[in-house]
């Protein structure tokens, strides 16, 4: 079973993502901001992380940066999930090493497909 961490501070967005991924057989972990993501990473290595960019305490960019230093995370797919749809922001996210950048609002179905394709 693939492990996925979903990081977003919007309760209602988390709800639908959690429901959909669970239904598709993922082991889902919910984080409210970047620090909670890093807490999870101390004890586990997820297959996918969905990261919002604007979050309280630790934002998405910084979270990814911190993760990159951990060798265990080499195979983990990181997808930014943000309402910031500025080309500059997208470029920045991809340059930092994210595997994909999906803008809000998105289709959960398509998002799911995209992830499936990543694992071939």
DSSP secondary structure of the chain: --EEEEE-S-HHHHHHHHHHHHHTT-EEEEESSHHHHHHHHHH---SEEEE-SS-SSS-HHHHHHHHHT-GGGGG-EEEEEES---HHHHHHHHHTT-SEEEESS--HHHHHHHHHHHT-
Q: Binding residue for another protein (CB under 8 A) from 30, 40, 84, 114?
A: 84
Asked if 95 touches another protein (CB under 8 A), the answer is no
Are 33 and 57 within 8 A, CB to CB? yes
Q: Pattern of binders to another protein over 7-46, x per CB under 8 A?
A: --xx-xx-xxx-xx--x-----------------------
Residue among 31, 55, 64, 98 that touches another protein (CB under 8 A): 55
Nearer to another protein, 34 or 46 (CB): 34
Span from 35-43, 57-65, 68-76, 93-101 in contact with another protein (CB under 8 A) = 57-65
Nearer to another protein by Cβ, of 107 and 116: the residue is 107
CB of residue 95 vs another protein: minimum separation in angstroms?
16
């Amino acid at each position: 079973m693939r492990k996925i961490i979903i990081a977003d501070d919007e309760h209602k967005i988390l709800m639908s993502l959690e429901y959909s991924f669970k239904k598709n057989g993922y082991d889902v972990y919910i984080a409210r901001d970047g620090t909670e993501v890093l807490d999870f990473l101390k004890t586990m290595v997820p297959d996918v992380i969905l990261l919002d960019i604007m979050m309280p305490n630790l934002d998405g960019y910084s979270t990814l940066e911190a993760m990159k230093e951990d060798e265990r995370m080499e195979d983990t797919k990181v997808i930014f999930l943000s309402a910031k749809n500025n080309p500059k922001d997208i470029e920045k996210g991809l340059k930092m090493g994210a595997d994909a950048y999906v803008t809000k609002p998105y289709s959960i179905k398509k998002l799911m497909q995209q992830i499936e394709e990543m694992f071939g």
